[in-house]
Structure 1
Amino acid sequence: MNTLHSLISLFVFSCFLPLLLSFSPPQTHLPMQCLDDQRAPLLQLQHHLYYDPNFTFSSNFDLWDVNTDCCSWEGVTCDAYGHVVGIDLSYRNLSGSFHSIFNLHRLQRLNLAGNNFNTTLFSYGFHKLKNLTHLNLSSSCFHGQILVEISYLTRLVSLDLSYQDDCFWRNGYGYNSATLKLEKPNFKTFIKNLKFLTELYLDSVDISTQSAKLCETTSLVLSNLRVLSLSNCGLKGPLCSSLSRLSFLSKLILDGNPISYLPPNFLEITSRLVSLCLRNCNLSGHFPTEILLSPKIQSIDISFNHQLMGQLPEFPANNALQSLSLYFTNFSGKLSQSIGNLKFLTDLELHYCNFFGPIPSSIANLSHLVNLYLGGNKLSDSIHSSLFTLPSLKIMDLGENQLVGKIDEFPNASSSSIERLYIGNMLFQ
C-alpha cells in the first residue's frame, strides 16, 4: 500500500513540476555579465573620447580596462541581464564624440555634465534613447538651438541642460556668449510630451522670447514638477500667478531674471516650497516675510534686490530654515532674539542691509551655523564673546558697523573653529 501511495505521489509531482517551474520567480541574483552588443558601443565611446582639460592639451580616454567586464567599469551601470542602463562620465574634462552611446537602447540615465564638448546637439540621436529617465548635459559647452528630439523622450523624469557657459569660466576663458537657446521648437512644443518630468533645469538657456506664456504652459503641462530652475534665462516679469497650480513644486530658482514684482498670490505659490531663489531679480516694494515662517521652507535667497524692503519676523521654535540670504537688500529693523530659534541654520547672510541695534545674544545658540555675515549694517553695542565659540562657525563678518567695546583675548585654536574673521572699520579697542 505504501509503495502504491509513493508511486502515485511521484506521478503527481512529475506532472506538476513543469507548471511549478514556470511560476518560479526570476533569478535576481545573477551576475551582471556585459553583453557583446553593449560592450561594443562602450569601446567605441572610449576610442572617440579624449581628455581636454584646458582646450589646449589632449590625451586618450583610458578610464576603462578592456580586459575586464564592462559592467564593472567606472561610471557604467548594468541591469541583472547585462544591459547598460546608466552612464555617468560627469566632470572629467572630456571632449570628442559620444555618438556610440545612442546604440545603448536600454539606457535610463545619462550624465555628461561638466565636460568640454563645445558643439551643437544637432548631430546626436537622442530620440533613440526611448527608455531615458534622467538626462544631464549641464556645463559642457553645448550651444545653439535645443533639439526637438529631446522632447520625444517621454519617460524623462529629470532634464538638466543648464549653465553651458560654465566650462569657459572653468577653463580660464572667461565669459563666452555661446549658449543654448530655445526658440524653434518653442517652449510649449518642447515640453508638451514630457508629462512625467519632475525636475527641469534650464539655467542660462536663452528663452527670452518665451516669457509671456512660459509659466502658464509649465503649470498646464508639467503637473508633476518638483524643481523648476530657470536662472539667467532672460525672463521678464512679473512672476506668473499660475505657478500656484504646481501642487508638488518644492524648489523654485529664478535668479538673474528681471521679474520686477511679485504676484498677489505669491504666498500661495511659495507655501509648499522648500527652497526659493530670487536673487538679482530687480524686485522692489515689500517682501511678504510670512514665507520665512512656512513650516517647510529651508532655504531663501532674495539678495541683490536693492529696492526690496522688509523686516524679519519673530521666529517660532524649531523653524526649519537652514539658509537665509538677504544681503544687498533694503531690509531693516532690529535683529530679534528669536533668531536663536533657528536651530538648523547654517548660513545667515544679512550684510549690507539696514539692520540696527545690538547683535542678539541668542545667535550663540546656533550650533550648526557655518557662515555669519552681518557686516555693512548699523549694528551697535558690544560683541558677545560666545559668538567666537560657536562650534561650526567658519566665517564671521561683523565689519563696517557701529559696534564698540574691548576685545581682550580671542579663544585659542582648540576652542574655536573660525577660519575668517572680519571686524574692520569699527571702534574696538
Structure 2
Amino acid sequence: MQPLHFSYKKYNISLPLPVLAVSLVLLLSLATPISSCTEQEKKSLLQFLAGLSQDSGLAKSWQEEGTDCCKWEGVTCNGNKTVIEVSLPSRGLEGSITSLGNLTGLQHLNLSYNSLSGNLPQELVSSSSIIVLDISFNQISGDLHELPSSTSSQPLKVLNISSNLFTGQFTIATWKGMENLVALNASNNSFTGQIPSHFCNISPNFAILELCYNKLSGSIPPGLSNCSKLKVLKAGHNHLSGTLPDELFNGTLLEHLTFSSNGLHGILEGTHIANLTNLVILDLGENNFRGKVPESLVQLKKLQELHSGYNNLSGELPSALSNCTNLTNIDLKNNNFSGELTKVNFSNLPNLQILDLMENNFSGKIAETIYSCHKLTALRLSSNNFHGQLSEGLGNLKSLSFLSLTGNSFTNLANALQILKSSKNLTTLLIGLNFMNETMPDDERIDGFENLQVLSLTGCSLLGEIPYWLSKLTNLQMLYLDGNQLTGPIPDWISSLNFLFYLDISNNSLTGGIPTALTEMPMLKSEKTAAPLDPRVFEVPIYLGTSLQYRKVNAFPILLDLGNNNFTGVIPPEIGLLKEIQSLNLNFNKLYGDIPQSISNLTNLLELDLSNNYLTGAIPGALNNLHFLTEFNVSFNDLEGPVPTTGQFSTFTNSSFGGNPKLCGPMLIHQCNSAEQGPVPTVYENQGGSKSIFTITFSLFFGLGVLYDQIVLSRYFG
C-alpha cells in the first residue's frame, strides 16, 4: 500500500493509510465532543411541545433529528451539552408556554411572531439564567406578575413583550431584582397607569424603554431623569397629558425621543431641548404644543428626523433649521406656520429625503434652495398658499418619487407637466385644486411619466377632454380626474392601461354611453388577468383627517366612479364582467332602462350607487348574491315593485330607495298590498340617500386611510 505524504513547512510526515484513518477518527472525537442534552432538558422541551395546540410540524422535525435535543430545530447547546438557547420565531406555534422555565441553563428565548396565548410564566421573568426574553407578536395576555420580595438579582437584560394582549400596570414589585435590565419593549399592548420609572433606580444601565400604543395616562414622570444612560424613550400613542418636564432634558445620552399622539401641551421654545445633543430622532407629533420651533435646534447637530406635525405651532421656520445638516426627514404638517420658506437654506441639508409641510399657511413661491436637495424622495407642500408657476428647478429632483402640491394656487398646468416629466422616478403625483379653469393639455408630446402609478388632477375645473397622453402612462394604477369640467366620451384606450384599478372621473360633464372599453379593463375583470399591484409603501402616508391613513397603493379598493356626469343610454349588461370591482358609482347621470341582472355577478362589490338616474323596472332579486354589499343606493329613479326585506336588505333604510314612488315596502311610506307583493326579490340595500355614497370611509375594509391628504369639498387630495 502506498503511503500518503503530508508536507508541513520543513516537516515530512509519511503514514500508511489505515493508520491515518484511525488517527483522524481519534482527532475528531477529541475535537468534537458528543453532544447530548440531559434527560431533564429533553423532558422540559417535550412538555413545551405537548402544551401546543398547533406545532406546524415542529414535533415531526424534532423526531426526525433523533433523541439528542441539542440537534433539534431551534435548540442550541453549549460545549457542556446544556441548552442555552431556544429560538422558534415565526414558526406558526399556537397554545401556551409551558416548562421552558425548567431549562436551568437557558440564556436566550425567542418565541416571537407566533400565535401563543395564555399568561407569561413567572419563572421565565424571574429566571436565574435568561438574559434575553422575546415573546413579541403573540397573543399573550394577563398582567405582569409581581415578583416575591425575596427575589434575588436576575441576569435578564432584554425583555420584549411588545404586540401582545397584556393589561394592568407597571409596579415596583414587577421589576424587583432586575438590576441588569437594559432594554424593555412593551409597546402595542393595553397597559394602563403611568409611565414606569422604577428601573431608573433599580437598573443602572437601563437604556431602552418602548411603551408606544398602550393606554398609559398621567404626566411624564420626572424620575426618568434618573435613567442616566437612557438612549431610547418611546411612549407615543397613549393618553399622556401635561408638559415636558425640565428633568427630561437632563438625559443627555438620549438618541430617540417619541411622545407622538398624546395630549401633551406647552411651548417648546422655552424648553432645554438644546441639552439633548445626541438626539437623532425627535417625534412630538399629534399633541397640543404651541409656539415657534425653538432656535436652539441649532445645537442638535446629530438630528436626523424632526416630527412635530399635527400641533399648534406657528410663526416662520427658523433659519437655524438649516444648521441641522444631518436632517433626513422634516415633518411639520398640519400646524399654523406662515411666511415664506426662503428663510431656511435647504441647500445646507444634503441628506434631506422627506419634507412634509402639508396644511400650513406658507405663502410665496417654493424656495429654490429645496431643489438642491438631490436625495429628496418625498415633497409634500399641499394645502398652503403657494402661488405662481412651478420652477424648472423642480426637475432637478431626480430622486423624487412622491410629490403633492394639492390645494395651492399654482398656474400653467402645461408648463408644470413639461417640468415634472424629467423626474423619472415619480410614482405619485398629486397636483389637484390648482390650475383653476385652465384647459387640460392635450399635447401628445407629453411623456416621461413611465413610472407614475398615482395621478390626481382632482378639483381643478379643467376644460377640454380626457387627453390621449394619459394612455402613455402604462404603469398607472390610480387616476383621479374628478371635479373638473371635462367633456366628450370616455376614450376606448382606457382599457389599454393594464394596471389601472382605481378610476374616478366623477363630477365632470362627460357624455355618451358607458363604453364597453370600461368592461375590458384587466384589473377590474379577473384576478387571472389582473396585474399584481405594487406592494411598496408610499414615502409618506396619505391621510384622511388625522387618524386614517394609507401607506400602500394595494390597500385601496378596486373602484370605478362615473357619478355626476351626462352619460346616457342603458347600463350595459357587460358590466357584469367586472368581477374584481368593489365600488361602482353611476349616480347623477341620465341612464335609463332596467338594472342589469348581470350586476349580481359582481360578488366582490361593497358599494353600489345607481341613484338619480331614469332607471325603470324592478330591483333584480339576483342582487341577493352580493353578500359583501354594505352600501346600496337606487334612490330617485323610476323603479317599481316591492323592496326586498330579507337578508341584508332588512338593515337598509328608506334613504336607499326614496324618490321611487312605485316602490313599496315596510321601510317606505308606500306599503305593498297583496297584488303588489308578488314574489319577493331579495336585494341588498343600504343607507346613502341621494348623496353619492362614494364619499365613503373605506377604512372598514381596506386598512387605515384613504388617498386624501386633506378634505376639501370632502373628496380632494393633498
1:212-361 matches, within 5 Å, as 214-220=220-226, 222-262=227-267, 264-291=270-297, 294-305=300-311, 307-314=312-319, 315-316=321-322, 319-336=325-342, 338-361=345-368
Tell whether the 8 Å contact from 1:119 to 1:143 is kept in structure 2 after alignment.
Answer: no
**Who is 2:55 aligned against?**
60
- Residue of structure 2 in register with 1:48 after alignment: 51
State how far apart, in whole Å, the 2-side matches of 1:231 and 1:120 are: 25
2:214 maps to 1:205: yes
Name the SS for the 1:376 alignment partner.
coil
Distance in 2 of aligned mates of 1:396 and 1:196: 44
SS in 2 for 1:236: strand
- Percent of pairs with identical residues: 28
**Comparing 367-376 and 137-146, the one that deviates more:** 137-146
Equivalent position amino acid for 2:217 in 1: S
Compute the TM-score of the two structures, normalised by the length of structure 1: 0.74
**Aligned equivalent of 1:395:** 402
Question: Contact conserved, 2:378 with 2:401, CA < 8 A, in 1?
Answer: yes
In the alignment, the residues of structure 2 paired with residue 79 and residue 101 of structure 1 have an alpha-carbon distance, to the nearest angstrom, of 17
**Which structure 2 residue ranges, 5 or more long, are not aligned?**
1-30, 131-153, 442-718
TM-score, normalised with respect to structure 2: 0.46
Distance 1:266 1:323 in 2: 22
Question: Alignment length, in residue pairs?
Answer: 371
**Partner of residue 521, structure 2:** none
Shift, 1:226, TM fit: 0.7
Q: Which has the higher contact order (CA 8 A, sep 6+)?
A: 1
Q: Does 1:193 align with 2:202?
A: yes
**How far is the alpha carbon of 1:297 from its aligned partner?**
0.7
Cα offset for 1:426?
A: 0.5
Shift of 1:119: 4.5
Q: Unaligned regions of 5+ residues in structure 1, if any?
A: 1-28, 51-58, 165-178
- List per-residue Cα deviations over 1:18-72 (Å, max 9, x = no partner): xxxxxxxxxxx9789563455554444444345xxxxxxxx43335831447667
CA positional deviation for 1:84:
4.7
- Name the structure 2 match of 1:160: 185
CA contact (8 A) 1:238 1:259 kept: yes
Output the CA distance in 2 between the equivalents of 1:191 and 1:119. Answer: 30
8 Å CA contact 1:151, 1:191 repeated in 2: no
Structure 2 residue identity aligned to 1:277: D
Query: Does the 8 Å CA contact 1:367/1:392 hold for their aligned counterparts?
Result: yes
Residue 160 of structure 2 aligns with which residue? 136
Q: Is the 8 A contact 2:56 2:91 kept in 1?
A: no
> What is the distance in 1 between the residues matched to 2:69 and 2:283?
41
Provide, for residues 110-167 of structure 1, a one-character-per-residue CA deviation record: whole Å limited to 9, x for no partner: 4555554454547664111433221111112223345744443322211101112xxx
- For 1:141 and 1:416, how far apart are their aligned partners in 2? 45
1:419 to 2:405 alignment: no
Shift of residue 187, structure 1, vs aligned partner: 3.0
Offset of residue 225 of structure 1: 0.8
8 Å CA contact retained: 1:112, 1:137: no
CA contact (8 A) 1:109 1:134 kept: no
Q: Following the alignment from structure 2 to structure 1, what is the Cα–Cα distance between the partners of residues 72 and 360?
A: 52
Secondary structure class of the residue paired with 1:102:
helix
Contact kept? 2:185, 2:210, Cα under 8 Å: yes
Pairwise CA RMSD? 3.4
1:289-315 Cα offsets, whole Å, 9 max, x none, are 43166211111111111x211422335
Query: How far apart are 1:74 and its partner, in Å?
Result: 6.5
The 8 Å contact of residues 328 and 353 in structure 1, kept in 2 or not, is answered as yes
Q: CA deviation at 1:358?
A: 1.4
Give SS of 2:242's match. coil
Aligned 8 A contact 1:375 1:397 in 2: yes
Name the residue aligned to 2:588: none
Amino acid at match of 1:35: C
SS of corresponding position for 2:345: helix
SS of 2:265's partner is: coil
Please give the per-residue CA displacement for 1:188-221, whole angstroms capped at 9, x wherever unaligned: 5465423221101122333325x3xx5322112x
Which whole-Å CA distance do the structure 2 matches of 1:38 and 1:226 have between them? 37
**Structure 2 residue 191 is matched with structure 1 residue 180:** yes
CA–CA separation in structure 2 for the residues paired with 1:363 and 1:143: 47
Secondary structure at 2:101's aligned position in 1?
Answer: helix
What is residue 7 of structure 1 aligned with on the other side?
none
Give distance in 2, aligned partners of 1:44 and 1:298: 48
CA distance in 1 between counterparts of 2:315 and 2:345 reads 17
- Give the residue type in structure 2 aligned to 1:101: L
Query: 1:279 deviation in Å?
Result: 1.1
* Aligned CA distance change for structure 1 residues 124 and 296 (closer, same or farther; 3 Å): same
**Kept in 2: contact 1:303–1:325 (CA 8 A):** yes
Whether contact under 8 Å (1:114, 1:138) holds in the other structure is no
